[in-house]
Structure 1
């Protein structure tokens, strides 16, 4: 085929794409630019920039980034088929932009041999089109893995641990990291080690579903974290043990020591800190500024002591504005009018639901205090949140 014919065929393809988007003059100029090199010779393939911008309506920012890596498509029909298939499967343009931006050469993949089989694997697990699109766009590396060497083996490991395809699908909705990780080197040895420590599978499952990336850490980190939790006095039989392991595993040694020092600076003794960690390990992942503010607010009431806080460490995780301020103001009113002799315990104050607190400490005194006064306290607390 002559160079002139090849040039005309390529230009005809882009003329159809550009029709209706630009004036005839601008389209002709654009097509001439994309169909010839600077010396007037035909170029192989077509421009990624024009293909994504005009054919598939990608944003100019994404198109520019992709085109800086991959300038031309050797097989635009196949690339078009890939994007069209994913759109039909349920992917939005924004999700497709994430996938293509992650690795532009994805546009050169083989639809029937590579893309479709992977999508079908997740469909067979019972995931909906929206769930598949969300999972893959959040972790585009999935589409670059081998179905036989990576994806299927990982899913088999998960099924062996969780028991069914339904549970595997449920887990993948929470985190796609299990698909792209080498589970035989991370999750499998971590689960086996925790089981060997006498931790029931139901507690290990709590980690799998609620803190999925924890079990994908290097096995040595998990072993060291178990050892540290025991060193801190957390009983393996305690339900808090697995939470303690997770918190320790999430920090470097330096970060852990800084956290401990921060609690010391708030006036807690070593025994106080250890007692709180045993009861509420997750508190140690919280903001120290918030913990300090809550501690100061509770102590300022004159009704709550440090020992009360140590016995109820999760009280430091509650909101001053939404939880404490409205409730403590109401208790002050009740006490000032001799409607209650003593304040309830800190445990009661922060653990009661709004409904339970109302029935116990508000409902019985509406006539004496006045609904307007009670409402003002509640609204003031919510308003300042």
Structure 2
């Protein structure tokens, strides 16, 4: 009999794989499904990025193994982008590390810093990989509840002192998935103080920093005084430039922390394809109007969905970042999502899938046209919600 390792047996089912399976079953029945579930942009990668890839693929020099830390040209482009976009100065030599998508970096960093039995501080609800990566490192995730009463920010004072003393890593993510909450520099400065007090490494997942609306500008964790002394920030080209399938991201910040992550990566992967990195250079250094245009489209979709959900009596607040709407619903989140799928052909993600404190919420992704979102609202009107 084939037996899995205990670390595999201890993993929860991966949320989005389960959603894909349920969606496929409904599609087999001939239902026209409107997918507002997984946050995968429906618009194509901007043409100038694709053109850069096409040009690079014809260069035989790009067909070889890449460097483990990533091309210097890509890391320099990332450092320059951070300076322009975040007002953060980075040394591209040792304060930028190329990732095969930020998910890869998030999953691997616990292996560099967590010993069996160590504690990681994980937001709940949160992106499942924070928790999963910690479990794979044989560490003990400690849930930091993200509650509406605290604007979906973790209450650092509520973390027991004995837990904080054992903690080695803290994961944060603002603008936040799934709640779409945002954080201030003041909050990040409180995190820096907390990290210094308990000698904790902070890993800030900043995948949604450029998806903002209504004049809002999301700060970088590294904007906080002393942040680079205690942590790193991970960024992804996936959502900003519609490059989810390309698998390209980067980590920036504390050089010693990045070196630790780099040691893991050199042993488990061979780096990002240089053709993709050259496309990434085009994304980071090229015209940024594509980002603004996509945000305008997401804002139109956001407003259409918010109008419909409020008419239906759901408790929702307009997100000023990410492309998610976090809606409070009646009853259990899984039951609500199941009803939407089976009775209306709508995929929405139950908040409980992001952690126990996501119960009572459903996440809608703005990854369908306004017409399809309006159709989804019309279908919901026919339900008793």
Q: TM-score, normalised by structure 2?
A: 0.22
Q: TM-score, normalised by structure 1?
A: 0.22
Q: Report which of the two structures shows the higher radius of gyration computed on alpha carbons.
A: 1
